[in-house]
Amino acid sequence: MVGTTVAGAWYGIAGPARGEAGLVCAAALAVYLCAVRAGRALIGIVAVLGVCLALHAPQVAAGVVLAERGRVESVVVTAVQDATAATGPGRYLCSVADRHGVPLDVRIWRGCEQTTRPGDALAVVYDPMGSVSPQGVEAGVPWARPVRDLVGWAVALLAASVIAVVRSYRLPPVPLDTWDAPGPATGGGG
């Protein structure tokens, strides 16, 4: 699921980059579990975890692409908007323009603070291939951080899938007459 999203972001393929291929993978996993007759509750848990993983993957894929081939550029703030109602307390969104005065299509929140004013400079990281939207630069973010964000979802999905598959295997019933049969004689000599 994550691999298809990262590949889509890397090569600029919109569907997989948005997580659509991950949702298809989650649905295919649920159908497989139905086919092997795993329990309905386990199928539901796996389906929900798969959808959550697929929906979180696009942000991580963008982070991976920008961490690997992103370039940092200084941009000029054109407007600052208090986004507290939409995104939570203390979050501000900055509209920015590149060094040639061309406005960027995205608003930046990393580095945009209450004290930021139009005309200030912000650092953004952009993909030279144009596959991923620019993002504000966070200080000291290692390249592996975007991947670590999904580890919990991936481990939970893997564990639930393994449990569902193991529980789907039914052992044949043991006939009752074999329980009463005497075992081999153990000799004590004689």
Return the pLDDT at 45.
95
Q: Report pTM.
A: 0.72
Q: What is the 3-state secondary structure (H, E, C) of 3-56?
A: HHHHHHHHHCCHHHHCCHHHHHHHHHHHHHHHHCCCCHHHHHHHHHHHHHHHHH
CB 128, CB 69: distance < 8 Å: yes
pLDDT, tens only, 61-105: 988 888 888 888 889 999 988 876 666 667 888 899 988 888 888
Distance CA 190, CA 188 (A): 7
Query: In which band, very low, low, confident or very high, does the pLDDT at 174 lie, cut at 50, 70 and 90?
Result: confident
pLDDT tens per residue, range 67-76: 888 888 889 9
pLDDT (mean) for 106-113: 85
* Cβ density class 132-159: b for 16+ within 10 Å, e for less: bebbbbeeeeeeeebbeebeebbebbee
CATH number of 71-126: 2.40.50
Q: How confident is the model at residue 157 (pLDDT cuts 50, 70, 90)?
A: very high
Contacts 24+ apart (CB under 8 A), 92-101: 92/116, 94/122, 94/136, 96/122, 96/124, 98/73, 99/73, 99/74, 99/75
Distance CA(82)–CA(3), nearest Å, equals 35
For residue 79, the surrounding DSSP H or E stretch is: strand 71-82
171 versus 57: the higher-pLDDT residue is 57
